[in-house]
Amino acid sequence: MSYAVHYSPDCEKVRSQLSSSDRSSLDSGVSAIARDPYGRGTSEMRGRDHRQASAGKFIVVYQVSAGLMFVTVVRIV
């Protein structure tokens, strides 16, 4: 079961300004993270639920809310 994905307002703004191919790449990577937010290719930052991973050609920093099954993207690099 996948986690629901939410973007912070700043990340949603960045995402909306990407080209369609970059947005598709990001969305595909974030979808993979949502399927397994603690999985291989992710790394812990400040505690188990604050993580980063690659999403396409981007690095995303995200917060996992395991009890609510949410992944919130808080930064796109």
What letter represents residue 36's amino acid?
D
Instruction: Enumerate domains of the chain plus CATH numbers.
Output: 4-76 (3.30.2310.20)
Per-residue pLDDT band at 1 (split at 50, 70, 90): confident
Question: φ, ψ for residue 33 (rounded to 5)?
Answer: -60, -40
Residues 14-60: pLDDT tens digits? 999 999 999 999 999 999 999 999 999 999 998 999 999 999 999 99
pLDDT confidence tier of residue 8, bands split at 50, 70 and 90:
very high
From start to end of the chain, where are the E strands? Answer: 4-7, 42-44, 50-55, 58-65, 70-76
10 φ, ψ (degrees, to nearest 5): -65, -40
- State yes or no: pLDDT of 74 exceeds 90: yes
